[in-house]
Amino acid sequence: MRFPRHPRAGGDPGPTRGIPVLGSRFRRNDGVKGSGLPQLLVARLPFFYGWVVLACLCCAGFSRQGGATATFSVFVEPLTREFHWSRTAVSGAASLGGLLAALLSPLIGPLLDRHGSRAALCLAVLGTGIAALLLSLTPSLLVFYLLFCVARLNWASPFELGIYSALNNWFMARRPLANSIATVAQMAGLVTMPLIAQLAMRGHGWRAGWVAIGVTVLAVGLLPVWLLMVRRPEDLGLLPDNAVAPGSASRGHLALRHVEATFTRRQAVRTPAFWLLLSYTVLIYPVQAGVSLHQAANLIEHGVAPTIAASIVSLFSLMSGVASALCGLMPRSLPIRYPMALSGVFLTIGCAGMIAIASTLQGAVAAAIFGLGIGGMLTLLPVAWADYFGRANYGAIRGLALSAQVLAQAAGPLLSGISHDWTGNYTRSLECFTALSFLSIVAALAARRPRSAPG
């Protein structure tokens, strides 16, 4: 059994005894993988190298939004106008990309556990950036589907699994803080990418918008990940959070207080906690997608002016970021199922408030409360999967759950659209989303951390 090194006060590694390294179940990957620039930096930096990894993942998360539906929405009108495609035909590309991600996620997760996130994230950034550049040359609906499906597939699976797999490997005690920073960076990309596309389109049309997106994705996301990403801290002779052995005299480092449980995917699916977390995911993601996509339309139908509706949607995004930041300050002694349940409470109240909007103020308050729930949910779920089942097989376990998550996320907008076409308003879908949010509270409260892996 190997034991990691930890930095002394002067930055040189010293031995840490008595703390077993997180070993990969793939024997060829148990050696130290840190080389090149990371290996040079780790002995010279005055702070934990995990913060460098976090910065790289923030860049990747920002670039991820090149394939987001919010970015894509900017191109829907000019594409349908120029090529005379229906809105259904254009939207189908996003749905197909999500379906492909659901199929591939269980295969991608174990590869991340084996090889780390560096290659997967680099390929995702390259794929998304090149697809966006080639979308500027779109001549037909078939070519559009092929290219946008690549971007959407990357958004839904390799980015999601790669970012949070790396984060949860490098951080344990500071895991909520690291996840909240990464989530806020992704929200910043979600706000910025559509603006970049819109500015480029003003003078040069939609083709220039895709070029601007592709260049931004490649410029922000590729080099940091390629040069500086490392699979996990043990590969550089470190421990998560720059922890040291209990009783160590090294100053400025956290003490490693417990050994994290390690579950295989087979062991995880045999626990009630897995199915309760999966139930929470399946209940809450239709709400997230179904309400978010149709939020502005619902406000306008209740008499809110379009410009005010856009401002309320921006408030929703702002409050999501606030909730993500607050999750980073959550004490680790607090069981994560309680803040997850609180997110469900916020979503329940927010959805109920949107059913019969009587004033602009009510719409704004409902959107703000709903945003708090979304921001908390997006930040806390990756933390919960890692806390409950460990980091050694996080990709394999989360990849299995991500398939259900992507399908549930696709069902929300479909439910909203069908309900609106049937009844002429969003009341029935919002009532359904209110019920789903309430059930997510029950699932969260019941999802206790498993005590040990089944034999």
pLDDT category at 22 given cuts 50, 70, 90 is: low
pLDDT category at 28 given cuts 50, 70, 90 is: very low
User: Tokens 């043990």 map to which residue?
Assistant: 234
pLDDT category at 35 given cuts 50, 70, 90 is: low
Q: Where are the domains of the chain?
A: 37-240, 260-449
d(CA 445, CA 453): 21
Percent of the chain with pLDDT over 70: 88
Q: What is the pTM of this model?
A: 0.82
pLDDT category at 258 given cuts 50, 70, 90 is: low
Fold agreement between 37-240 and 260-449? yes
- 302-311 average pLDDT score: 82
The answer to which of 5-9, 143-147, 313-317, 387-391 has the lowest mean pLDDT is 5-9
3 and 20 in contact (C-beta within 8 Å)? yes
pLDDT category at 279 given cuts 50, 70, 90 is: very high
What is residue 259's predicted lDDT score, i.e. its pLDDT?
60
Which residues, 6+ apart, have CB-to-CB distance to 306 below 8 Å?
296, 300
Q: Does domain 260-449 correspond to CATH entry 3.30.70.100?
A: no
- 251-256 average pLDDT score: 46
The answer to which of 171-180, 280-289, 351-360, 413-422 has the lowest mean pLDDT is 413-422
Does residue 345 register a pLDDT over 70? yes
d(CA 243, CA 3): 13
Q: Regarding predicted confidence, which is higher, 352 or 356?
A: 352
Of 201, 202, 220, 219, give the one whose Cα is nearest residue 210. Answer: 201
d(CA 428, CA 419): 6
Note the pLDDT tens digit of each residue in 422-452. 888 889 989 999 999 999 999 999 999 998 7
Q: What is the mean pLDDT of the chain?
A: 85
Does residue 20 register a pLDDT over 50? no
Note the pLDDT tens digit of each residue in 133-152. 999 999 999 999 999 999 99
Q: What is the dihedral of CA 318, 321, 323, 326, to 10 degrees?
A: -130
What is residue 404's predicted lDDT score, i.e. its pLDDT?
92
Of 287, 290, 383, give the one whose Cα is nearest residue 339. Answer: 383
What is residue 7's predicted lDDT score, i.e. its pLDDT?
44
Note the pLDDT tens digit of each residue in 193-231. 888 988 898 888 999 999 999 999 999 999 999 999 999
For the 37-240 domain, the top CATH level (class) is: mainly alpha
Does residue 29 register a pLDDT over 70? no
Does residue 98 register a pLDDT over 80? yes
